[in-house]
Amino acid sequence: MRAYLSEAFPKFISKAEQENVKTFQEYDDKFSIHYQCKEWLEVLLELAKEDGDDKLGGAVSACLARMDS
């Protein structure tokens, strides 16, 4: 699961930047099909922490802080 979510994360960031999306709600309203983006990003953050991946964890944490409004 971590590999899949890790692969999805840069695509999520890219899409949000391209579409000038600023919040999770805005992203989900436009693009969500199965999962709310904040939910899977929180899972990815926990997986990164478990694996000791500070780089990924920091990037996901920053994204969560930026878009959580």
Model confidence pLDDT, tens digit, residues 18-51: 999 999 999 999 998 888 999 999 999 999 999 9
Name the 3-class secondary structure at 16.
helix
Host domain of residue 63? 2-67
Is-above-0.85 flag for pTM?
yes
Percent with pLDDT over 70 in the chain: 99
Q: What is the pLDDT of residue 35?
A: 87
Domain count, the chain: 1
In the numeric block, which tokens belong to residue 32?
A: 């969500």
The answer to whether 54 and 16 have CB atoms below 8 angstroms apart is no
Q: What is the pLDDT of residue 69?
A: 66
Q: What is the pLDDT of residue 24?
A: 96
Nearest C-alpha neighbor of 60 from the set 26, 23, 10: 10
Mean pLDDT of the chain: 95
